[in-house]
Structure 1
Amino acid sequence: MNASSLFRVEFGRLMRNRLAWLAAALTALAPIAGYSFYHPTFGDSMGALYLANPMLTGGMAGTLLFALLILAALDQPARSGTAALIETIIPPVKMHAIRLLAVLSLAVLTSLAVGILYLPYTMWKLNIVFSFSDYWLAVLLFLLSGPVMGTLAAAMAIQITGRLDVSVLALLAAVIFSRSRWCSQYFLAHWNIPLVSTLSDAFGSAVVWRTAFYSRLVWLCLLGGGWLLSLLCVRQYGKGAAGSLIHRIKRPVLPIFSILLLLLGAVLWNRQPFIDHCPEDWISMETADRFHEHLTTESTSLSVTIDSFLMGTLSGEASWQIRNNSGSPQELYFNLNSGYRVRSITANGEPLPFEDLKNDYIASRELRCTLPADEEISLVITYGGMPRIWNAQERELSGNYISSRGIYLASHHLAPTVAGCAPVEDEDTPVTLTITLPAAMTPVSTGSPKQLSDNRDGTVSWVITDQGTERIQLFAGDYVYKELATGSGMPIQFYYSKKYQSRLENGALELMEQAIAYCTSHYGPRSFTEDKPFKIVQLTAFQFGGFANRSISGMGETYFSDENLGNPDKGPASAEVLAHEIIHQWWGLGATLYDPEDEDWNDEGITVYTTYRLMREIMGEDYARENYTDKWKAVMEDQHASFYQRHPEYLDRLPKRYSNEILASESSANWYDGNALMIYRAAEKAGPQKIDEIWSELYTRQASGSSDMITLKDFLDACGLKKGEVERE
């Protein structure tokens, strides 16, 4: 009987097996658990809640169910006592391969049926943010991945061990390990279903699709190669695993092909292009001071081209006019994303040799070249590649990205930066960026974008100008622009995705305007002008939280979703984040809190406290107490009850990655909750109105240049208090 006929017979037998129908039915029902209590992702976008979680749950269930199905199918001849009879008719290796193919075919049909079954509900829940391409990619990479990988792993286990019980235990151990804390940190360690932190509703989830596809390819190579190798151990002629292996290894085709697959998987694992290689003890690393007193940047010009939206790659040319006042050759260090490679460097038209230091640090690395002794140097660097993610953020898959629906590139992730070695001359030093984008994308930047030309091929060329720094931040997406009314005369530009226009009618815009008005009236206006307006930009879901930098505030897209804005239980974790990030334009950018004698004193405390005061005015005392002051106290109580807080000597016994997480969590509690609690207690002693006057005076003093920073002592002295009178505990 040829292979196709044998497959039809075996697949027909499988379809008459009640166990096969049970496995398919339970896999189809499993996504329901993903809607309710099992959430593999930790994002709260609509795509994460109603697409990723259900499909990943189905994939996890399918791993176990189809693994048990293949184990039952391969063990059936031994259980029924017909193994010797079947062996005389069909070679065992051929029979095992056909049965594996039959089970994998059922897995494909089951996944297709599940995709069709859940399609209407997913379309209804995601509504305007639904995407057919994202949906079927999730079915393929999240759902189907589980049954395929589980089937291969289980078949490999029973072919090696020859025992059903041992194979079941090995499979359970592998699944449990895949959900462990260690595996959760690395996208390649997820062998049965991929690592998914969240999905973006508006700006594309290219980073998930790329890493998921890549990790599936790696594990198909590893498990496929392992399965082919395990075929050599299938028992025949009464021999054991070793005897069967020795008998079959005389024919080298199968072992050679399996070893090639295993080697390919190992190479792909080692050469993955998505995550950098920053040392785990990065928090204790000391970065070298590259400042060079003889070098000055007079202007910067950047030209960037997106090579592939599918792969997320770019190429560019960065040009600087640099003055060398030393009269002798000087070393120049520059930084760029560790996923980029420099192709050439020229100075005044002459090629320069360069060295890649390969010192990965927070998704960047340094390169070094030697500039000539010329006083005026035109330095040009050509480069290209895919931006990598800092490995400490691998679990979140958060970083700079390029996709067909959104772009975020900043600083050395956009182009090489030399400011650390050759600083800019003054605040008026110009920098320009030229970039071509799809016509559907609108750029938003720290600088001023201006359309250069419509290329009539579906793309538009833009030029972005800025001053004082080469650290341009670039966002691009299907942005809608709105001018916010604040009543202060200060220009406020708000950029958000078209998909969220209806969701912003639920009070979000009003809250943003109220935050700006509150800070302006209590602390003083920011110095934004028509030429340099205040911009608020919506971020992808992978930029968790928000940020404030120069004239831009950013916040994640999930804060605008109806799940967040319409959920009263979330309180400050939803729309109030908008206010928090906008308030950073005053505290963090307008004025800076820093104390060399107290490393936890920073801008977050006053920003959180101001958000509390704003929400108390809007929502009332009970709401503010429940969602702010009570939370601060609870967080600090939990922090001081922590085992490692009481016994810090045990931190040194933990792996660096875990001890760094504990220290970061402790610092975060002190920054946000502890500092806000100190200011709140000072306000209880001095009175809220007096505290407002104090902060207004401190803000005005620094904004006018009278002081470099606001220390904890400055604040306590202004309140007439001593440090022991208000503590973070």
Structure 2
Amino acid sequence: MRNHGKGLLGSFAHHVRRAYLPALSFALMGFGVILYQSEPYIDHSPAKIYGSGVGGTQTTVVMDSPYAEGNPNLTLISTQLDTDIEASRSRLKSTAVYQLKNSSGKPQECILQMNPGYIIDRITANGEKVSFTDKKNDHEQMKDIIVSLPAEKEIRLEVRYKGYPKIWSETRKQLSGYKIERDYVELNGIHLRPVINASAEGAGVTGEITLPAELLLISSGQPAQVIHENEGGTKTWRIDDPGGSVSLFAGDYIKRELSGGGTPIYFYYSAKHAKQMEKLGIQQILEDTITYCTKRFGPLSHTEAEPLSILETAGHMFGGGSSGNLNIINESHFSEDGYINSHSGATIADSISTEIIQTWWLQGAMVMDAENSDWTNGGLSVYAAYRIAKEMYGEDYAREHHVEEWKKAWNSMNHNFYVRHPEYADILPEKYIADLQVEFSTIRTHAGMALKIYRAAQLIGGDKMDAVLTGLYQNGGTEHPPFITWHDFLNACGLTEEELNIDEAI
């Protein structure tokens, strides 16, 4: 547009001064893209839709990686680690040595999968450098490294790497992920070392882990042992996990031995929480639960060489779980406010008890049904926590603090707008749908399934239900042994699916 009195060139010069605004906008957008691509702490895994659909329909997880399948020509014999964890710098330097067998007699392509925060320095096979490609294709908390292997039958693959574990993008809001911190370390699987796409049945992991001297190391498999006290205030520990899925935890842990299990069981908790543990009466809660499960189902198959260890973990890793002979419980379960999960019960003790019970149904039995994804160890553990409360405090207490809480969770899910109107879920952001799916799946597998078991107990009697669950635990299933299926449970109870309609029962 001409500006009167300035001429053509004057008008152009007058208006071009405002061109910095769109230029600045483009520059800022470009800078934002660079920041996203260079994000140092969070990976770039795409959001996933998984679990059961919001309206009850099933959805399928599609792996982003084309390298998910193993190489049938490669067999992993063993893995050895030499890892220096620099806790003050939140990083590690490590060498992983894999003993492999190549049955093809030809060069092979090998895939390593590892946390996106780690960088490969060097890879050798039988002492010779080999080529590799970092695909930088973040997915499901990992990335893929393609390695070219020689045709030799016996291969010693040595991988040197360094870095720090990045947080999975799915949990970026909670900053939940595996950690290396000055006073706490939590690493396993791809977050500790590259995992190789080879047959690995029976291939154990051994190694040496160097840590600050003030941290106590707890490892899955055999208890970690100090083998060196080094200059500079560090200790080197020996680890040995015959199962191969090694998990490491290190912190200011206090160790207690627990009774009632018939096998060695230890509890580790942070020294910072010693007073709270005493106030909570944690040892009594744990031993009451262990005693009940041991009498009802039988002792776990742990030994002094590989004892069961119950660990309090840092608050950034939510919930609990099991890794080999480790039972993991988040510190929020033990706080004064307490992690009260209405799927499990109404008190801190209920929540802790449920986490311990799951050890029996995860490690002592195999619960799975391909046709009913709601049938898991979760519902069985929640119901068992109710039975413990009933024995200790009576039916009224158990019903109020367990059964009524399950009903609240179940009704809350069924009254959700997107459950009642699943057609509107299609317009929601994928991340929001995924969050709803996780929440509703947990309610169905825990509160919902516990209500079905409770309903079955009402129909056949509580004592008979105890006998049914004991029999299934000790003998396994008959439909697809050793797995205990939903139909195994129904047959053992002499009931049908229609008789356990909890919507009608509540």
Alignment of 1:189-208 (within 5 A): none
Q: Which residue of the partner structure matches residue 313 of structure 2?
A: 539
Instruction: Report if the CA contact (8 A) 2:209-2:237 is conserved.
Output: yes
Deviations 1:695-722 (A, max 9, x none): 1111111399992211110000000000
Secondary structure in 2 matching 1:366? strand
Of 499, 511, 528 in structure 1, the residue corresponding to residue 272 of structure 2 is 499
- Between the aligned partners of 1:653 and 1:707, the Cα distance in structure 2 is 42
Q: 2:44 aligns with which of 273, 277, 282?
A: 277
Whether the 8 Å CA contact 1:677–1:728 is kept in 2: the answer is: yes
Letter in 1 for 2:346: P
Q: In percent, how many aligned pairs have the same letter? A: 37
Separation in structure 2 between the aligned mates of residue 582 and residue 692 of structure 1, nearest angstrom: 18
Q: Aligned residue for 1:656? A: 430
Does residue 1:422 correspond to 2:198, yes or no?
yes
Distance 1:676 1:446 in 2: 30
CA distance in 1, matches of 2:426, 2:85: 45
Q: How does 1:506-517 map to 2 (within 5 A)?
A: 506=279, 507-517=281-291
Structure 2: stretches of 5+ with no match in the other structure? 1-12, 51-59
* 2:83 match: 304
Amino acid at match of 2:499: E
Listed as ranges, the matches of 1:354-393 within 5 Å are 354-393=132-171
2:471 aligned partner: 697
- Structure 1 residue 680, shift from structure 2 partner: 0.5
Task: Indicate the residue corresponding to 2:34 in structure 1.
Answer: 267
Q: Residues 523 and 436 of structure 1: is their aligned pair in 2 closer, same or farther, counting only changes over 3 Å?
A: same
Partners of 2:485 and 2:477 in 1: CA distance: 15
Match of 1:564 among 318, 338, 361: 338
C-alpha distance after superposition, 1:302-357 (max 9, x if no partner): 111124524x2212111110011111122211210011121221111111111223
Asked if 1:596 is matched to 2:370, the reply is yes
Flag the structure with higher strand content.
2
Task: Tell me the equivalent position of 1:628.
Answer: 402
Give the RMSD, CA atoms, in angstroms: 2.8
Give a deviation string over 1:167-212, Cα, whole Å, max 9, x none.
xxxxxxxxxxxxxxxxxxxxxxxxxxxxxxxxxxxxxxxxxxxxxx
- Confirm or deny: 8 A CA contact 1:590 1:703 kept in the other structure: no
Give the letter for the 1:352 counterpart: V
Match of 1:337 among 110, 115, 119: 115
One of 372, 386, 389 as aligned partner of 1:612: 386
Return the TM-score normalized by structure 1.
0.61
Would you say the 8 A contact 2:94–2:162 is kept in 1? Answer: yes
Deviations 1:415-453 (A, max 9, x none): 1011xx212243xx3311211111110001112201011
Q: Offset of 1:267 from its aligned partner? A: 3.3
Structure 2 CA distance for aligned equivalents of residues 642 and 262 of structure 1: 38
Match of 2:450 among 676, 680, 683: 676
Q: 1:717 to 1:703 in 2, by over 3 A?
A: closer
- Kindly indicate whether structure 1 or structure 2 has the higher relative contact order, using CA contacts under 8 Å at least 6 residues apart: 2
- CA deviations on 1:524-575 (whole Å, 9 max, x unpaired) are 1111111010101110011122112221111122322334399xxx963523
The CA distance in 1 between the partners of 2:247 and 2:358, in whole Å, is 17
Specify the SS of the correspondent of 1:584: helix
* Residue 232 (structure 2) pairs with residue 454 (structure 1): no
Taking structure 2 as the reference length, what is the TM-score of the superposition? 0.87
Query: After the TM superposition, which residues 123-522 of structure 1 pair with which residues of structure 2 at under 5 Å, given as runs?
Result: 246=17, 267-281=34-48, 283=50, 284-287=60-63, 288=66, 289-307=68-86, 309-310=88-89, 312-418=90-196, 421-426=197-202, 429-447=203-221, 448-469=223-244, 471-486=245-260, 488-506=261-279, 507-522=281-296
User: 1:551 is matched with which residue?
Assistant: 325
Separation in 2 of the partners of 1:365 and 1:269? 17
Give the AA of the match of 2:130: L
Shift of the alpha carbon at 1:362? Answer: 2.1
Aligned equivalents of 1:371 and 1:558: distance in 2?
46
The answer as to whether partners of 1:387 and 1:401 remain within 8 angstroms in 2 is yes
Larger Rg: 1
Report deviation, 1:615. 1.8
> Is 1:580 paired with 2:321?
no
Structure 2 residue matching 1:464: 3-state secondary structure: strand
1:245 Cα deviation from its structure 2 partner: 10
User: Cα distance, 1:668 vs. partner?
Assistant: 1.3
Deviations 1:275-297 (A, max 9, x none): 11111235344235422222111
Distance 2:195 2:18 in 1: 61
Please say if residues 478 and 488 of structure 2, whose CA atoms lie closer than 8 Å, have aligned partners that are also in contact. no
Q: CA distance change for structure 1 residues 259 and 362 in 2, over 3 Å: closer, same or farther?
A: closer
- Closer/same/farther in 2, CA of residues 262 and 638 from structure 1, 3 Å limit: closer
